[in-house]
Structure formats: C-alpha cells, structure tokens
Structure 1
C-alpha cells in the first residue's frame, strides 16, 4: 500500500511537473510571441512617425517658397537682373523666416543672380559644391515648365520640383520653383522663367526637430556608405529611390525589455515551480498592460489631430454615437456645436500657412480652456471644430457655452509679431429634439452653422425645422435653376430704359427674371443668392451678357447695362471672358456697360481694379451701382476706372423729405462732376423728384416715372416704333 501510495504520489508529481513544464513552456512561448509583436508594432509606429515627419518637412519647403515665388515684382526685377533688389528681397529672408540653409536665384539664361548661405549673401554668387544637385533639380523644373499647357499649369498640378540629394556628404532637400507673376499684368513666355532654388539640410537642427516631434531616442544621421541598415533606421534618398543615408535611432523594444526582466526569475521558476506560477501570472499582467499602453499610443495617433492634439472626426463620431445611445427620454439631452473660423482665409492669404497653423493651435487651446471636462472638443479639419456636450437642458447649456466661446474670440491672436482678429460662427443641434442619429444631428448642426454665417457671422444659431425646410427648398430651387439654365426656357431679360434730363433715351439696363413654373416670378435677389452658392453665377452671367449683346444688335440703343455679382469678379479670367462674348457678337465694346456695387471693389480691391481696368481699356463702360449704400469712399472713386455713378433709390426717395436729402444728392453730383463721372438717379417715380434732380444737375434718370422694365419683344417694338427716340411714357 505504501509502495502504491508512493508510486501514485510520484506519478502525480511527474504529472504536475509535466503540466507545470507545459504551462511554463506555453507561457514562455506566449511571452516571446507577445514581446516580438510589441517590438514590431513599436518599431513600425516609430518608422511611420519619422517618415511622416520627413515628408512633412519636404512638403513645407516648396510651400514656404510660394509666398516669394509668385510675385510680379520678383519677375520684373529678376528679368532686369536687378541684383541689389534681389539681394534685398530674397537674400537672408528665407533663412530668417523658414531656416532655409541656402537660397539661389537663377536668371532665365542661367546666370546666377543670388547665392545666399544662411543670412549671408555670397559675392560673387556661386553654387560651389551645390552645383551638381542644383542643376539636376533645375533641369527637371525646366522640363516641367516647357510642358505647361496654360499659364502656370502643367499636367498633374502645381509647377515645382522638390527632391533629396547629398551635398558635401550631407542630406539636403532641394526645391526649385519658377518666379512667376501673380497677376495678368506681367507675362512670362515659356523658357524665360527665373528659378528660385532653396536648400535645407536634413541633418543638424532638423534631426533634433524630428526627434522632438516623434519622440524617438538618440536619433542621428548616417551616410549610406558607412552604415549597414538595422531595424531602427529608415532610408533617406531621392524620389528615384537612390538612398544616400539613414536616420538611425535606438528602437523602442518593450518586448525585449520584458523578456530581460523575466529571464532571472525564469531560472528560479525551475527550482521553485509553485512560487513562479504566481509570479509569471503577475508579470503577464504587467506585459499585457505595457502592450495595451503601446496600442493606446497608436490608437491615440489614429483618433487625434496631429496639429492640435484634439480628437479628430473619427473620435468625435465614436463619442457622439456613445452619447446618443445612452440618452434616456426625459432625463438627458445632448448638443453638437459646429464651429467655423471667420476671416481665417485672410490670415493664410496675407500672413502665410505658418500663421494659419498658429491660429488653429491657439483656437484649440482656447476651446479646451472653455469646455474643460464638460464635453469633447474636436478638430474636423481646416478651420472647422466641433464640441459635443451632454446636459439635462442641452439648449441652455449650448447657448451659454456658445456665448463663452464667442467672448473668447474677442481678444486678438498673437502670431510671431503679427496680430490677427479672428471671429467664429457656431451652429447648434440638440438631441433628441433635432435628431437621434449621428449623421442627422451633424447635418442639422451644419445647417445651423450655415444660417449663422448667412446672418452676419460672429454669432451662433440653434437649428430649427424651418432651417431644414429652407435648405431643402433651396436645393430644389437650385436643381430647378440648373434645369432652367440648361433649357433656356424659363430665364429671360427685361429692359428698363434710362433717360436724359431732356427726356431722351440714353441706354437701358438688362434685368434678369426667372419665370418659375411653380413659384412664378422668383425674386432677383434670391435668384442671384442661389446662383452664387451653387456655383452657377458665372454661367448665368455669361448667359445674361450673351442676351444683352443680342439685344444691342437689334435696337439702336447707345448701350445696354448688365449687373455683375461680386462672386464673378473673384475670377481673374472674368474680363477676358466678357470681351470674348462681346467680340463673338461683333458689337462695339462701348455698347455694353458693366454695373458693379461698392462691395465688389472693397472686397478685393487689387483684383477688382485689374479686371475693371482691362474692361475699361477695351472700351466697355463701367458704372458703380447703388452708390451711397456702402463706404462711398473718394479714394476708390479716384483709383478705379469708372464712367458713371448710380445714386441709390433710397436717396432719391429722401429728396422730398427735407433739405438734408437734397443736400446729400447735391454733394454726390458735385463729387461726380469733380471726378468727371456721369450721374444716374435710380428709382425716380414722381415728376417732382425728376424736376429736383434736373435742377441739381443730374445727367440721367431711371424709374417707373419713365418706364417699368419691358419684356424683350415689347422693348424692340416700342423702341423701333419711336425711331430711336423713346420719350417718357411713350
């Protein structure tokens, strides 16, 4: 019995030992596999971060050049070989602003006008050791310039060449851009472009910048000739695949570190099997925690914005789904606030994208300070942000939060020596009142944001069902407008004659009408608004000009006026397109008058001046419509090529209301005379208004007293029956 017991005990001991060994072997195998996976994932993440940072720096160099390379003055002075001007405007600037190590300006014939190293200008200018790499990049750029199909466009996009090469055994980004004009006033033929070449070395300070951004340890650069690639490295080379060196770092090895910690204890496990089982379990939990932490870092990168550190759209949508799923009827509500920065584009256009990034980062900090732990702040992209909150009274909480956000944007943004005033518009949608599904509540918050912008920006709007109905109606109207434009059956022009003080016709204004099959005559203001928002305004504007030219050929009126939207004048090609249409109909440009409002010249004065100047030089008349309702500045009246001012009907109605109204119009007429401009009074409806305007010296009048807008057939017949001299009320 004793022998049997001993044998059984031995068998159990052996079985336990085998099971323990099997468990230890299984645990060891699992630990090795988990450690290897952790090492591979950590290394893959580090390589991805380093590669992305290299790509970001490489993309930044040509973007930083752009503000200096698209410049009329740059084209003029480089073509003149004005070395002093080039040194003053390029030498040292790119280093001070963007830390470009070397800057070269090459004339169209290949002469080197500028060679700058850091802040110092090299005289005489020379490429030195940079010549081979510089020549290779510039040769590629010249090939692209020869391939451009239209001014400053090539197949595939923008015109620049950027690559990585080795200079003096150092890796360097070389970016070449043509110095090209930013307006139509300067023309550069093919092959006559000056070249702006920038060089930025990828060792030294850039290595520290990459290491700081990616948090890799002991990052350094090694030339390819001296280094055998290791796991903790990534190749640096040209776009043709030529590797010139490697970024090398000490790779994170969380798995290997784990094994090194376990190894001493594993030897003790062989002697103390019972105790080691508990220890292994505890270490396994620690390994799992480390693995989860590594995965958490990777998950953070996938669900957060790289520029601000805020949650991105994917994280916002996930969190919003959770909040909406947890809402209990009558107990909790939620709100989504969509935010869009006002005047942000002006910062990018005037101060550059670097300043724009600073605005985005400061905006993120202000929003986080306001929201704190009460909600989620996310960046959706560009200058769009979102806030999600849960509350028992979502409308009240969202309104109070919006007031605080608006107040936080009152102080200006400080941007490395510049100051920018940025506003914000906010659209709010609440759950469950507006919607209970993520896509729907985001859509309705976006509708409310659109309404806030339409109401003047710098405010917030709460979604209402009326807004949704309006959006659906506008979409339907937009579809109807596209159909009307395609068929040409519902749109028409009516014509309102203008008369001289003596009662003779001087011209006519073409007014657009839409005879909608359901809504009948659609408001012209609503029609233009829909056309601008849907991108149809240019097509409609061309149609109107075509129709006006056809009418000018049929009646012997001196000129026909067409109104131009501010959106049309944002197109630098507008003047050329107008003149092409006029030439197509073979009428004199003097028989067409373009009418613009004060908002057009104030919104983009430089572009507006160029376009109006081109039209006026060709002979097209230019009138300033609704004068007096905007800024009414003498400076732009003197600086812009105008033929006449049209006094708004508001001031004409004020004529009979007292001396103040008459004094205002008298001042307008005197100012126009001083500038040698003709004056047209709009909205003349009574004989008394006409008599006062004649007495004040007004040149032309337009209004119901003389004629209402007339449909084309009646206008032709009435004009023809009058033999070219239509009198009022004839």
Structure 2
C-alpha cells in the first residue's frame, strides 16, 4: 500500500510538473518570439532610415558637385536653376523643397511643393545654420554631402545638405561656398508605405511616444528630438500561443488521463514489484533484500531474542571455472543446480537465499536451529556429486560456516556477519567441513582490517622500499641479474614479514598499488644496471587485472627501459588459478620482449604440465630442494630431472636458496645455469647493491 501511494503521488506530481513545465515553456517561447520580432523590427527601422538617408545623400552629392549649377548661382541665373535643378528635383520627387543658401544664411534660390508654406517657413535659418555646422568639418569632395533631420511646419523633414562647388575649387574658402539643401517630408503616406513593406501596418511619425508601441526617436544634429517613429511591435509568439492553446490543452488532457489510468493500475504492479525486488531472478530464492526482510520480521526477531535462529553461510568454489569453460549461460545452469541441491539438503522450513554470485545463506528457525551442525554437514556432501553442465562434468566444492542463535548478540545482522566470518575462515583454510563461528574470528578480522589500514597508510606515506638480491652464473660466479623484492619497515610494527605483506595486499585489493610501486621502482633503477636482468614477482591479482599489461608498457616507455632487461616471476598458483587468461597475458608480455620465469618450481601439483601449457623462459627450482643437497641423495636426482625437463623445453635454470660452497659446486655439476641465495649476498637496498656490484667488478678483474 505504501508503495502504491508513493507511485500514485509520484505520477500526480509528475503530471503537475509536466503541466507547469509545458505551460511555462510555451509562454516563454512565445515571449521569446515576440522579443526577437520586436528586435528585428528595430533593426529594420534602423536599416530603412539608413537607406533613406543614403539615397538623399547621393542625390544631394549629384546636385551640389555640379560646376554649371555653381556658375548659374554665381551669375544669378534663376531660370537655369529652375530648369535644371528645381525641375529635376520636383519631377523625380526626391524632395519636397530645395533651397540654395548664401554663406550668410540667406535663401537666394528655392523651390517647394508645399502650397501652404513659404521657403523660410520650411527651411528656417536654424536649419540652415545646423546644416552648415554639419558640413563644417567635412573635407570638400564629390561625396561630401550630409543628411540630417529637422522640423518643418508639416512635420519631420529629412534634410540633405551639400556645398555648391565650382569645378575649379582649388584654394576656395569652403566657408564662402553656398549650401544646397534638399528637404523631404516624412509624410504619413510615405511612412505607412514603408511600414507595410515591413509588415508594420501602423508605422507612423508622432510628436511623442505612444503607450504600448515601440518607438525610435528622431534627432536633429543638436540632439533635439524632432519626433518619434512609432509602431505596434509584431507579436508572432502571441499568435502562435493562441493557435497552440487548443491542441496543447487536448494533449495535456490525454496525458493526464493516461497518468490517472497508470496510477489506478499501480496497486497490482506494486505487489508484483515488491515480490520481484525480494527474489533472485535466476533461482527464485530470496535475494539479499528478501533475506533482510525475513530476518527483520517480528517472528524472526522474537526467535533471535530467544536464541532460536541459526545461519549457515555457503560460498561455492570453482564457479568461475564453469563460466570460463561453458560461458555465463552454463554458469547460470550451475547456480540453479546448486540452489536445488541446497533446498534438498536442508529442512523444508529453512529459508534459503542467494546473496551473491556464488554465495548462499540458509536460515534455520526453531527446532531446525538446534540441528544446525547436522544440517551444515549435509551441504558439502550434497555438492560431492559432479555437476553436469553442457554435457561436461564439473567438480564443485564449497566453503561452509555457521553461527548459532547463542552468537546473536547484536541481532540478525550480527548473526549473519558471524556466519560470514566462519565461512571466510573455512575458505582461507580450504576446509571441506563446516566451520563454526568463534569470537576469536572477530578479533582476527579486526586485526586484518587494522593491518590493512596500516598498509594503506604505508603506501601513501612511502614506507615501502625495494631490495635486490643478486643472481650469478654458475660458470664464473659473475652477477648477471637481480631479483627485486618489496619490503616494509613500519615505524609502529617494525619489519613486516613479506609473506604477510603480500597476503594482506592481495586480500584487500591493495596488491595493484604495491605491484605498481615495485614495477615502477625497478624501471626507475634499471638505468644503474643496463647489463643485468631485473626480475620482478607478479601476483595472481596483478595478472588478473585487465589493464596490467598496458600499465606495464606505459612504465617501460616512461623510463626508457628496454623490455628485454625485465623478467617477471610467477608461481604455479598464479597460472593454475586462471589458466586461459594467464596464458594470454604471458603471451602479451613476451611479445613486448619481457621474459617469464616460473618461480618455486617443484612445490606444486602440476609443475610439468605448467611447463607445457604456458610460454616460459626460465625455471627457478625451489630452495627446499637445494637445502637438502649433500644430505639427501634424492635431492640431487630431483634437481637433475628438473634440469632435464627444462632443457627439453629450452629453458634456463636458476637454483634458489644457495647458502654454501658445497651446494654451489653440486649445482654446477648438475648443469644448472644460475644460482641465487645467501652465498652470494642477502637482499640489499639499491645503494648497497651498487657498492656490492662495484666490489664484484674489482674482485673479478683481480682474478
């Protein structure tokens, strides 16, 4: 019901927001259209005014830069001026009035089409004075006419003014030249005609701005307003809004009806969604949320309070192998089969949930909780029979941990967490039988978390460092390579064992940071020993990282390292955990020029098969075989067989852990290529290694 109400409320709020948004956007767009149209009208008015002034200026230039007109003026030939100037202007209708004013401002000749005005009324002394001021700073030339606006008895005049100039005007005092003035009234008919061409039906000239209309002030040269050009701004947006009101209203109404229909159906959908949200789609079991809801139910809480609940945590081993072999669809088949076996192995009242890709939880309540040990033991047995997926048999095991109701201090979450801790313990110890929770597990988990936090801080604080151990040829005992080893000296913990450092780094996901630190430092140090092979250990987590090869390539290029100088060392565990991806990564590394060594050879279960399956360059025989040389006859035989296998695969051989001259001599006789161990030197920092190698050079030269 609460979900239904929430969905209905969301739909109603969505409708309201949609209505408001669409309405607001429509009004905003209409106003934007209106504003753009108004701005365009202003631009058109400015352009039209400029064009009109330009035409009048050209006409004034033509008549003022006319030698015959000046000579007619000079000799007072009014007939010539009437015939050639006045008639030309009147017939072409470029002006309503034309005058020629003498330098002292008097009209000596004029013509007007205005019957009710005299020349002096139309072209006043003030207008003549302003025209002369406009022309005062204009150099004499054929295009020196200017235009301006003035006020006449019949309204606003557009004035064109130019000096009447003789052909031979060199040395002429421009202030002594007469002025030709052509005036054209901005009559309502003319203004209206201009407005219609711009779709402005009411364009007019007014003495004052008109409320509700746009306007453009008309100024004379003295910046005095002689009138206003006014018009009603176009409103295409308002017209568009009116046209959209009906279809938009219909569309919004339909939308509201659809939303109401959806809201009425929400009740049924809500129940289905709530059920689906609590179930795992693949198995039909409870998912993590369904499990949490069950544990939070009042009935379960009451049982937990009485100690009547037990939780079994199951982690399936080998799930990834199935995915890699037959694909994810095959993995889905396995998950469903595992779920079916869990249901069959547990009581009918048990609550089984899938809480992760390969993790399951079984909750036992009441009498079943008392039998948690027997039920937990049934689960590994149920997994013993091979699973058949895509006609292929797969052997799958599981790690099982459980916590009883008596461990439930802190409620259901604490009980679930403690069962998880017990499962983790079983997984770490590779136990096939279930593991019961004990309080020490929380102490161990807390210690691991604290150690992980210290390691994280150590990486950031730069507390890690690299030491190098030499590798020498068995022929002449010359150092030909160095193995890089990471070390951590903590101000709080002291020297941390390398095995613990690597184990926690891999478990916590910090191995990428640690591994990148080692690789980067080795690349930085490589310039010191260009003739030595530098070996670096790579962990399983690093090799599983999809970006490992590309990051390694970037480091090599950054430091200018020749890839052939670097060798990576891998244990057999790295290769056997994910064989196909591991083989691809090794091939990519070898294509770069990096060599690959198999470390700790002889300690795994499938060492020979590893040599056959993976691209390798070197074999490193584990120290456990070397330590028995001279005391156990079988040790030499085993090493000799390892060397024979390596020779068959064209691999060089390194014996690790060499501590005595006797061991070194026997290794030489067994045809091994290289030795490594305390006989040569203990691991040392880069500065100490530089001194050591310098001493080795002096010793070799002396020999």
Q: TM-score range by the shorter chain?
A: 0.5 to 0.7
Q: Which residue number in structure 1 is paired with residue 348 of structure 2?
A: 373
Change (3 A) 1:310 1:455: same
Matched pairs, number: 443
SS in 1 for 2:407: coil
Q: Tell me how far apart the structure 2 counterparts of residues 628 and 648 of structure 1 sit (CA, whole Å).
A: 6
- Equivalent positions of 1:83-482 (< 5 A) are 301=276, 303-321=278-296, 322=298, 325-327=301-303, 332-390=307-365, 397-415=371-389, 417-456=391-430, 458-482=432-456
SS in 2 for 1:723: helix
SS in 2 for 1:642: coil
Q: Tell me how far apart the structure 1 counterparts of residues 335 and 615 of structure 2 sit (CA, whole Å).
A: 39
Q: 2:620 aligns with which of 624, 646, 668?
A: 646
Deviation at 1:718, TM superposition (A): 2.3
Deviation at 1:487, TM superposition (A): 2.5
Deviation at 1:494, TM superposition (A): 1.0
Deviation at 1:408, TM superposition (A): 0.6
SS in 2 for 1:709: coil
Q: 2:483 aligns with which of 509, 533, 554?
A: 509
Q: Tell me how far apart the structure 2 counterparts of residues 439 and 662 of structure 1 sit (CA, whole Å).
A: 57
Q: Which residue number in structure 1 is paired with residue 467 of structure 2?
A: 494
Q: Tell me how far apart the structure 2 counterparts of residues 401 and 653 of structure 1 sit (CA, whole Å).
A: 47
SS in 2 for 1:654: coil
Q: Which residue number in structure 1 is paired with residue 641 of structure 2?
A: 667
Please tell me whether the aligned partners of residues 508 and 557 of structure 1 are also in contact (alpha carbons under 8 angstroms).
no
Change (3 A) 1:299 1:702: closer
Change (3 A) 1:550 1:336: same
TM-score, normalised with respect to structure 1: 0.55
Asked whether 1:590 is paired with 2:569, we answer: no
Please tell me whether the aligned partners of residues 556 and 724 of structure 1 are also in contact (alpha carbons under 8 angstroms).
no
Deviation at 1:404, TM superposition (A): 0.5
Please tell me whether the aligned partners of residues 310 and 402 of structure 2 are also in contact (alpha carbons under 8 angstroms).
yes
Deviation at 1:378, TM superposition (A): 2.2
Change (3 A) 1:618 1:687: same
Deviation at 1:520, TM superposition (A): 1.1
Q: Tell me how far apart the structure 1 counterparts of residues 271 and 589 of structure 2 sit (CA, whole Å).
A: 61
SS in 2 for 1:710: coil
1:519-577 Cα shifts (integer Å, max 9, x gaps) = 11112122112222222222221211121122221245512211111211113432332
Asked whether 1:518 is paired with 2:483, we answer: no
Q: Tell me how far apart the structure 2 counterparts of residues 638 and 314 of structure 1 sit (CA, whole Å).
A: 47
- Equivalent positions of 1:523-534 (< 5 A) are 523-534=497-508
Deviation at 1:681, TM superposition (A): 0.6
Q: Which residue number in structure 1 is paired with residue 587 of structure 2?
A: 613
1:445-474 Cα shifts (integer Å, max 9, x gaps) = 222222222222644222222221222222
Please tell me whether the aligned partners of residues 323 and 334 of structure 1 are also in contact (alpha carbons under 8 angstroms).
no
Deviation at 1:387, TM superposition (A): 1.0
Deviation at 1:645, TM superposition (A): 0.8
Q: Which residue number in structure 1 is paired with residue 173 of structure 2?
A: none
Q: Tell me how far apart the structure 1 counterparts of residues 281 and 429 of structure 2 sit (CA, whole Å).
A: 33
Q: Tell me how far apart the structure 2 counterparts of residues 616 and 294 of structure 1 sit (CA, whole Å).
A: 57
Please tell me whether the aligned partners of residues 307 and 408 of structure 2 are also in contact (alpha carbons under 8 angstroms).
no
Asked whether 1:698 is paired with 2:642, we answer: no
Change (3 A) 1:315 1:594: closer
Q: Tell me how far apart the structure 2 counterparts of residues 678 and 667 of structure 1 sit (CA, whole Å).
A: 14
- Equivalent positions of 1:690-729 (< 5 A) are 690-723=664-697
SS in 2 for 1:567: helix
Deviation at 1:651, TM superposition (A): 0.9
Q: Tell me how far apart the structure 1 counterparts of residues 684 and 573 of structure 2 sit (CA, whole Å).
A: 28
Deviation at 1:374, TM superposition (A): 4.7
Asked whether 1:684 is paired with 2:661, we answer: no
Deviation at 1:516, TM superposition (A): 1.6
Change (3 A) 1:486 1:620: same
Please tell me whether the aligned partners of residues 549 and 585 of structure 2 are also in contact (alpha carbons under 8 angstroms).
yes
Please tell me whether the aligned partners of residues 391 and 397 of structure 1 are also in contact (alpha carbons under 8 angstroms).
no
Change (3 A) 1:413 1:584: same
Q: Which residue number in structure 2 is paired with residue 115 of structure 1?
A: none
SS in 2 for 1:514: strand
Structure 1 residue runs of 5 or longer lacking an equivalent are 1-33, 42-252, 254-290
1:166-205 Cα shifts (integer Å, max 9, x gaps) = xxxxxxxxxxxxxxxxxxxxxxxxxxxxxxxxxxxxxxxx
SS in 1 for 2:371: helix
Please tell me whether the aligned partners of residues 658 and 664 of structure 2 are also in contact (alpha carbons under 8 angstroms).
yes
Q: Tell me how far apart the structure 2 counterparts of residues 523 and 429 of structure 1 sit (CA, whole Å).
A: 33
1:237-285 Cα shifts (integer Å, max 9, x gaps) = xxxxxxxxxxxxxxxx9xxxxxxxxxxxxxxxxxxxxxxxxxxxxxxxx
Change (3 A) 1:332 1:450: closer
Deviation at 1:399, TM superposition (A): 2.2
Change (3 A) 1:630 1:479: same
Q: Tell me how far apart the structure 2 counterparts of residues 507 and 298 of structure 1 sit (CA, whole Å).
A: 64
Deviation at 1:682, TM superposition (A): 0.6
Change (3 A) 1:418 1:325: same
Please tell me whether the aligned partners of residues 512 and 524 of structure 1 are also in contact (alpha carbons under 8 angstroms).
yes
Q: Which residue number in structure 1 is paired with residue 457 of structure 2?
A: 483
Q: Which residue number in structure 2 is paired with residue 261 of structure 1?
A: none
Q: Which moved more, 1:300-309 or 1:550-559?
A: 300-309
Q: Tell me how far apart the structure 2 counterparts of residues 587 and 296 of structure 1 sit (CA, whole Å).
A: 63
TM-score, normalised with respect to structure 2: 0.57
Structure 2 residue runs of 5 or longer lacking an equivalent are 9-263
Please tell me whether the aligned partners of residues 555 and 719 of structure 1 are also in contact (alpha carbons under 8 angstroms).
no
Q: Which residue number in structure 1 is paired with residue 192 of structure 2?
A: none
Q: Which moved more, 1:293-302 or 1:706-715?
A: 293-302
Q: Tell me how far apart the structure 1 counterparts of residues 530 and 697 of structure 2 sit (CA, whole Å).
A: 9
